[in-house]
């Protein structure tokens, strides 16, 4: 039977530890994904969060200015958040007068920057031409079915889509200049347009 002195026992233990460490080092070098997995997952999550925050900031910061006149108590220029509707402008203008003709206006219509809103009076037939933005939905869309052609439409037409403000509309226009959209799904390649936003506009857009 072999007997080891204390010094020899220490040497044996050290050799075993060195062998284990070398084996572990070689194993990790052959499998780099194990060490990088957490970093990769963190980077992906961070990118998603940054995109979501950027989208929220864009929507929160955008403002539009519209001119409202006619049967409201405080006609003039009002400033609203992008995506606001006619009813929001009416409220900022002091509300509707009792003689306002609600049958000739669409209070739910989404507004665009620099738009003119005219609230007609009951019995009024000669309505100013500026009121056409309120009284009808005759935007110059490039599709007979009323959908927005994202390859040729204007910034203002893009801004009539739910959740599309001035910043996102400009991004879409800049993107299509070098990369025309082949399908409506391609719009998700534009920064700030994810699955949720696409779901809200997919039935309102088309490509040609």
- Tens of pLDDT, residues 64-76: 888 898 899 998 8
Phi/psi of residue 65, nearest 5 degrees: -120, 130
Q: Lowest mean pLDDT of 20-24, 61-65, 186-190, name the range.
A: 61-65
- Rounded-to-integer distance, Cα 110 and Cα 37, Å: 46
pLDDT at 42: 52
What's the total number of domains in the chain? 3
Quick one: pLDDT band at residue 61, thresholds 50, 70, 90?
low
In a domain, residue 1? The reply is no
Task: Verify that 121 and 67 share a domain, yes or no.
Answer: yes
Task: Verify that 51 and 67 share a domain, yes or no.
Answer: no
Count CA within 13 A, CB hemisphere, residue 206.
Answer: 10
Task: Verify that 56 and 66 share a domain, yes or no.
Answer: no
User: Has residue 139 got a pLDDT over 50?
Assistant: no
Task: Verify that 122 and 83 share a domain, yes or no.
Answer: yes
Last residue of a domain, one of 14, 29, 60: 60
Q: Which domain holds residue 185?
A: 148-206
User: Has residue 121 got a pLDDT over 90?
Assistant: no
Task: Verify that 41 and 80 share a domain, yes or no.
Answer: no
Spatial CA neighbour of 62 closest among 173, 164, 165: 165
Report pLDDT digits (tens) over 2-31.
666 777 777 878 888 888 888 887 776 665
**pTM of the full structure:** 0.40
| Mean pLDDT computed over every residue of the chain | 78
Beta strands in the chain (DSSP E): 63-70, 76-81, 116-119, 148-149, 205-206
In a domain, residue 190? The reply is yes
Spatial CA neighbour of 102 closest among 73, 126, 124: 124
């Amino acid at each position: 039977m072999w007997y080891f002195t204390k010094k020899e026992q220490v040497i044996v233990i050290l050799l075993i530890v060195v062998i284990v460490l070398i084996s572990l080092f070689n194993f990790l070098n052959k499998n780099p994904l194990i060490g990088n997995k957490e970093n990769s997952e963190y980077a992906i999550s961070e990118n998603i969060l940054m995109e979501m925050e950027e989208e929220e900031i864009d929507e929160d910061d955008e403002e539009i200015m519209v001119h409202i006149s006619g049967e409201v108590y405080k006609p003039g220029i009002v400033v609203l958040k992008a995506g606001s509707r006619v009813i929001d402008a009416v409220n900022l203008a002091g509300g509707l007068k009792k003689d306002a003709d609600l049958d000739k206006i669409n209070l739910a219509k989404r507004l665009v920057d620099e738009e003119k809103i005219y609230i007609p009076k009951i019995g009024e037939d000669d309505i100013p031409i500026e009121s056409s933005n309120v009284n009808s939905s005759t935007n110059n869309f490039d599709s007979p079915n009323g959908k927005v052609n994202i390859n040729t439409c204007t910034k203002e037409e893009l801004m009539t889509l739910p959740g599309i403000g001035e910043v996102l509309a400009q991004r879409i226009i800049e993107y299509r200049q070098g990369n025309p959209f082949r399908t409506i799904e391609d719009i998700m390649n534009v920064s700030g347009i994810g699955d949720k936003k696409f779901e809200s506009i997919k039935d309102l857009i088309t490509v040609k």
